[in-house]
Structure formats: C-alpha cells, structure tokens
Amino acid sequence: MSSTLPHKLDPSVELVDSTQPDSGYFFQLSLSPKYLPDIAVLAGDPGNLLELTAIHEFAEAWHWSMQFYSSQRTCRFVPASIVRPLINQKSGKGQPNLDLDAAGLVGYGLHIGSSEQLLLESLLAQTDHITCLTAELIPLLTATAALRQNQSLYPVFSVAEYVSLVNKTRTTVKIAPHRGVHNVASLLAAVPMAAAIRVAYDAERLYMYDAKSNHLMHISRDPKLSQKQMRMYVSVLIVALFGHRRAGCDQTQICRSLLYLSQACVADKPVQAVAASLRDRAEAAAS
C-alpha cells in the first residue's frame, strides 16, 4: 500500500490520558435507559451466538430495551421471545421484519446469505441512524459503493480487517516503516468510507478516528480481551454515547470519553459485571 491520503495533512494523533476524564461531559451524561437510543441488533448465527448472547446480557444489565433479529437458521435455535427473524417468510414475499428506524448493531457473527444480502443492502443504504458494522459486512461494503458513502455507518474492525477492506477496494494508503500508530492513522484516514467515526483495535490498543477533524485518538486495552468481546463492548458504547439523548458535544470529546470508559472492558469479568463497571466509571468521572 502506498500513495496519498484523502486529506491534505496527515492525521493528528493523540494518546488519551485515562487518568484525566472529562468531568464536565460525564456530569451531564446519564446511562439511564430513558436517555439511551432505541437499538436494533442484527446478529448471530448457529455456531456463533456468543456475541448475540453477550449483547443481550449487556442490555439486560442496563435495563436497555433492544430488539434482536437474526437469520431463519438462528431463530430455530433461539426462543422467539428473544430473537425475531430478519425476513418474514410468512408473507410469501420474503419481506423484512424491520426498517432499521433505530440505532443499529449489524454483523457480530451474522452469516450473510443471498436473501439477507439484498435486505441488508436496502436497509443500510437508507438508514440515517448510527449503525455499527463488523467485518462480516466487508463483502457488502466492497460490492456496494452506496453503503460506503453513508456517514451513519460506523465500521468497528480490527486493523487487519481494515487492511483487507482497503485491499479489496484497491485503496491506496500512505504508510512508512517504524511509524506505528501513525500508520494506523493513515490507514483509517484512507478507508474508502464516509463514516464520521472509524473504530479500530489490535492486540494492545483501541483507536478512534474522527473523520471531520482528521484526528486519531488511541488508548491501551486489555490484551486478554478477545476480538469479538472488544468489538461488542465498543459498539455498545458507540451507540450509547453517540446516540445519547443528551449528546450535544463535539465528536472528539465523545471519542475521548468513550476511550476512557473502554478501560473498564476487561476479560476476567462476566458481561454483567463489565456493564456495572462502565456505569461506575462514568459516575466516578462526573464527581
């Protein structure tokens, strides 16, 4: 990968100080369900239901109402009271069960068959709600330019998955040996998506790139936390903070606050305990 960035200047890079939370931001923040956005979760597939289960457990811990959808394959194995099929086969026309008129979490172990692909292309191209996408959607993003132009679709990929996306879309990226985090900044700046926020992670760090300000923020993360756990926690935080009914501050401020909260996401606790720790961390930062 070589050549130029879409921005005239290289991205600025900031290491977020986890000891200095923005108390003013957290003072106005409340993680009460009444301030959190409505969520539609499109996830899970037989043999890979861990993330769908984890998101459900997180929602229950925060008493946060979410609607869960998955493929017909999944719904055979999961109680209908928890997960609804993406496509309503009873109509005889394969009509969608939802219009994604809410913030969304899409991917997370969801296997995309031909019928789901057509449905997701239509839903995602039309939504203007914040929607986090995982790497299961890379084939759709590669094939559908309209999805890449939707600013509301926030990719939550590993650094390696971003490399895969830019390679598949034949996007050039300016990198140089031994530049470390600056190469990640260049990669995220060059990603061929209009997303206002692009989130990445590797074995040691979590990164958030603010496309509007051409600014990359990063912080250390628990290296024992798996890739699937990492993207699940970060995605839930994104829709909670960026879709929050009190969210009136700039993107960069929210990114810093999200990275600060991410320090509570650790591998040695169950989902419910991490959810409680995130609330505690937000409350402590407000005091």
Write the pLDDT tens digit of every residue in 54-64.
999 999 999 99
Domain annotation covers residue 82 = yes
Question: How confident is the model at residue 48, as a pLDDT?
Answer: 81
pLDDT at 102 over 90: no
* CATH code assigned at 112: 3.40.1190.20
Question: How confident is the model at residue 240, as a pLDDT?
Answer: 94
Provide the CA 179 distance to its chain's centre, in angstroms. Answer: 26
pLDDT at 107 over 80: yes
Among the residue ranges 80-94, 110-124, 140-154, 217-231, the one predicted with the least confidence is: 80-94
CB atoms within 10 A of CB 232: 28
Q: What percent of the chain has pLDDT over 70?
A: 91
Domain annotation covers residue 125 = yes
- Highest averaged pLDDT of the listed ranges 70-74, 247-251, 254-258: 254-258
> Helix, strand, or coil here: 158?
strand
Half-sphere exposure of 243 (CA within 13 A, CB side): 27
pLDDT at 51 over 50: yes
Pick from 36, 22, 64, 65: which is nearest to 246 by CA? 36
Pick from 32, 70, 82, 59: which is nearest to 271 by CA? 59
- Mean pLDDT, to the nearest integer, of 150-176? 93
Q: What is the pTM of this model?
A: 0.91
Domain annotation covers residue 280 = yes
Domain annotation covers residue 4 = no
Range of the domain at 181: 12-286
Q: What percent of the chain has pLDDT over 90?
A: 62
CB atoms within 10 A of CB 77: 13
Any residues with CB less than 8 A from the CB of 100 and at least 6 apart, and which?
A: 40, 123, 124, 126, 127, 129, 131
- Structure confidence at residue 117 as a pLDDT band (50, 70, 90): confident
Domain annotation covers residue 2 = no
Domain annotation covers residue 1 = no
Domain annotation covers residue 178 = yes
| Structure confidence by residue, pLDDT tens digits, 234-248 | 999 999 999 888 766
Domain annotation covers residue 7 = no
Pick from 220, 208, 207: which is nearest to 263 by CA? 220
How many domains are there within the chain?
Answer: 1
